Structure 1
């Protein structure tokens, strides 16, 4: 063992010497640096006012067994980029963090884009919910923190301005008003019950409302109502009166910053951060047009590693030599990371309200990136103070829920590890793969593999396997095929030391399925103790399941109230759900024959649609002659022959 350690140290010495030589050549200019390990994984991305001083600080002293010491010990190579300004360094750093997902950086993952309220361009524009890339030909308002906030705003606008929400295809084919007209949520432009001018005016008023010009809008509506009343147009005056009343009720339900002089000042993001128990939460609340639209909580990854390295960097500094940089609280580090990463891809409002003061250089870089002046305040007054307090409370509640949930999830993983006598050093790395077979009387057999890791299901790693070449309905043969396909190549990597098996391989079934899994593992030379079968209890009742092992251990009954059994049941049920949904989709594809048409070269979506429309479905296409197929627009004689051969 000692010889191996000496050999590793000897191999690392030239690498470290090369790194130090590279560090010595770095310029004393602002820039961004990246550290990589021996297999090319990105360890850390950082920025510096002085690249030479900052990077050399990592290698000038022994960091021991600290987190920064662990990272430095793994550095095999580095890359640097020189930039002109500190602002450019900050933007490049966070672009790289989002793109490379470094192990030792604070990282915020945005699992989905923010939704917008869309006014679709049309003679009679419609309101719609929208998520995705912005198309300049339409008008957008937002972003909103959630789909619920968009839909609530659409409902408010329907009540006040009665704009349509139906799809253009529905709109173009209406012959009489729909129910929304009857309940006074639409003015029925589809059948001409409102003029173009009046509908356009309603659209303009809705836009003014969304921009925060509520008082001006109310004053204008009041003036128009009085003009109609003076002209004895009482019906029109009554319509405006109803609109004013509806708008007033909406405004009474909203928190509106009445003293804002411009719409720009009414667009605000409120950011509150809370750090506790090794986790952090940044709660983002959005105010658009003076209306509080709701909030969304964000939780960063890699917090403890990044905080430790950030603190070490602060001690070293990279500014004036000998100057002691002030200690930066963890809350400020998290908030700065969120601001830098979040607003690279999202629209930034002209004003930010923050729970903690951040570096002004960050706000300046944000202004440069946005193309307009962005202001930030962390001690607001009046209405903004109320909004900040709401956001802070939301951050505290969201973090408390996360910690409670993670504690419960960790407890379940621990209970299962103890029940199965798993020898693992870190519960966070426990990986369970579960398999299930699904078919209908042998038709469209599919196997599923779902993954549990880091105390939760990892849907991005799920896999489905189409099972072919077996006797229909033979679940044992299906299990043999899926396990062989899943672990055949992986076994080679395990033997070579370049891959690892999961800690548990769950199969949904009793001794028969476990015996089949045992045969596969013996053929591949894999550890039989990994295989665990979930056998239905007496009467197939939930809570009476027993665990069956392939290595000869006796069956285990965990108990209906066992946290371990709850986790096993969750994973097993997820595998069943994933298998059956895939099977149903495959079965539907086989029965309709759509996959057969899609597989024919030269038959795209348009030609396929023409064929199905002409012959009334795939069965009709299959019964058609070559000449009949060739009579369809876009289908040549040669393609008709190809289609005929594929379907017969």
Structure 2
């Protein structure tokens, strides 16, 4: 293992990242073998510990791993879709085996135990699909279905013992896991509270009529390129008090003067909200048809909302960018009151940004201690990060393709074979003449010619 790690390090220093990655995969495979050996030869001191904590409408399942008697650390997981059991989530876990004081409490504890069992079984069913279950599973909080355990034990190839009331050292492990579960959940709730406070501060300042803060939707746009090359626009989404990566979108910007950020912003906003308008018109038409065949007294059918825009559109830029954005929204017949530009402050320092409005309101400098500005900066920085990563990938692909295309004697099929053999343009560049000549369709003379062109 030590020799492989040194070899991987040497490759990385020499910038031979593909070779380093291959060695890394060897290390990972060897680590899996060593762990499996430890599980098979020292089963009594190899265990996973599952502890659960519930508070504030959220649940935490904490997984602690012990291998060879050594505690390797914890990882906290926060199951989603637990809102149906919100009445149970704030019930304290029983610290003793004392019977409940009355039948009502007994019913509550029974419901709580069923809920905990459901959470634990769901976690076990998902986690151990991709991880080997150790010979011992220490579970705190409730019993789990033995058939589920036996299923994963059969997959592992040995019997798994489930311990619900551990003693001595195993009890210490479980106590640590329970303590860490409570800490992780408290941290999550504190972070969520802070994020919700930021959402509330932003809504109070910019959207005072917003009723449902959780449903508040913000879309933010940024443009990125390198001296006009590989221009990309990003759109990131904030909703439910957090960023929504699954809803992010990148837009390749074409047919503009290189480096023209205004034209790029016009193009991305037009493409984004023309689509929204088309969907809205279709939805309204469908709603009109539905109303025609529905009784006029059916208020529910007539009250279906049609969402066209987010509650707030943020644009990374000052007056110039916001003016272009304003023009696009006016052309599309959309409300410009939800359009806000985030202009960078002096020295581009965080906390000195100024908000610029499309509807004529005076610019506002919130100050570095503003909770609303913290949220705006978070969303703006995420849009910038998302745009840059996309731009760099596009640029690298374009440069790789263009450099290969300049090689004399190398057509489309040979380019494809070179990339398949060496993985990237860097791999082709680092290949020796002998390695190039080993590619199907390349003679020794052509390999020497390619090598000279690249060096």
Give me the TM-score of the superposition, normalised by structure 2. Answer: 0.71
Q: Deviations over 1:325-378 (max 9, x none)?
A: 94343444432332233234432223211112314xx12232034325433222
Matched, 1:483 2:291: no
Contact 2:48–2:138 (Cα < 8 Å) also in 1 = yes
Contact 1:431–1:451 (Cα < 8 Å) also in 2 = yes
Matches of 1:208 and 1:369 in 2, distance apart?
A: 17
Matches of 1:602 and 1:408 in 2, distance apart?
A: 56
Identify if the C-alpha distance between structure 1 residues 169 and 273 changes in structure 2 by more than 3 Å, giving closer, same or farther.
closer
2:441: which partner in 1?
A: 634
1:522: which partner in 2?
A: 330
2:136: which partner in 1?
A: 351
Matched, 1:421 2:207: yes
Contact 2:46–2:69 (Cα < 8 Å) also in 1 = yes
Match of 1:334 among 103, 119, 131: 119
Identify if the C-alpha distance between structure 1 residues 533 and 309 changes in structure 2 by more than 3 Å, giving closer, same or farther.
same
Matched, 1:546 2:354: yes
Contact 1:607–1:634 (Cα < 8 Å) also in 2 = no
Q: State how 1:43-192 maps to structure 2 within 5 Å.
A: 127=1, 158=2, 164-167=4-7
Contact 1:274–1:280 (Cα < 8 Å) also in 2 = yes
1:287: which partner in 2?
A: 66
Contact 1:363–1:374 (Cα < 8 Å) also in 2 = no
Identify if the C-alpha distance between structure 1 residues 381 and 484 changes in structure 2 by more than 3 Å, giving closer, same or farther.
same
Q: Deviations over 1:312-334 (max 9, x none)?
A: xxxxxxxxxxxx99434344443
Deviation (angstroms), 1:605: 4.7
Matches of 2:367 and 2:9 in 1, distance apart?
A: 57
Q: Deviations over 1:50-103 (max 9, x none)?
A: xxxxxxxxxxxxxxxxxxxxxxxxxxxxxxxxxxxxxxxxxxxxxxxxxxxxxx
Deviation (angstroms), 1:592: 4.5
Point out the structure with max Rg over C-alpha.
Answer: 1
2:239: which partner in 1?
A: 453
Residue-pair matches, total: 372
Identify if the C-alpha distance between structure 1 residues 635 and 502 changes in structure 2 by more than 3 Å, giving closer, same or farther.
farther
Contact 1:449–1:575 (Cα < 8 Å) also in 2 = yes
Q: Deviations over 1:527-554 (max 9, x none)?
A: 2222111123456543232212223333
Question: SS in structure 2 opposite 1:327?
Answer: helix
Contact 2:57–2:86 (Cα < 8 Å) also in 1 = no
Structure 1 residue runs without a partner (length 5+)? 1-126, 128-157, 172-202, 214-261, 311-323, 618-628, 637-648
Structure 2 residue runs without a partner (length 5+)? 12-29, 90-106, 284-305, 431-435, 444-455
2:53: which partner in 1?
A: 274
Matches of 1:499 and 1:601 in 2, distance apart?
A: 47
Q: Deviations over 1:490-510 (max 9, x none)?
A: 221123336553221110112
Contact 1:434–1:450 (Cα < 8 Å) also in 2 = yes
Matches of 1:414 and 1:374 in 2, distance apart?
A: 49
Matches of 1:632 and 1:288 in 2, distance apart?
A: 46
Matches of 2:88 and 2:8 in 1, distance apart?
A: 55
More contact order relative to length (CA 8 Å, sep ≥ 6): 2
Matches of 2:278 and 2:314 in 1, distance apart?
A: 21
Matches of 1:378 and 1:165 in 2, distance apart?
A: 39
Matches of 1:615 and 1:270 in 2, distance apart?
A: 48
2:43: which partner in 1?
A: 264
Matched, 1:389 2:175: yes
Contact 2:404–2:425 (Cα < 8 Å) also in 1 = no
Q: Deviations over 1:147-201 (max 9, x none)?
A: xxxxxxxxxxx5xxxx643459979xxxxxxxxxxxxxxxxxxxxxxxxxxxxxx
Matches of 1:612 and 1:333 in 2, distance apart?
A: 51
Identify if the C-alpha distance between structure 1 residues 550 and 209 changes in structure 2 by more than 3 Å, giving closer, same or farther.
closer
Identify if the C-alpha distance between structure 1 residues 455 and 594 changes in structure 2 by more than 3 Å, giving closer, same or farther.
farther
Deviation (angstroms), 1:425: 3.3
Give me the TM-score of the superposition, normalised by structure 1. Answer: 0.51
Matched, 1:511 2:319: yes
Identify if the C-alpha distance between structure 1 residues 602 and 461 changes in structure 2 by more than 3 Å, giving closer, same or farther.
farther
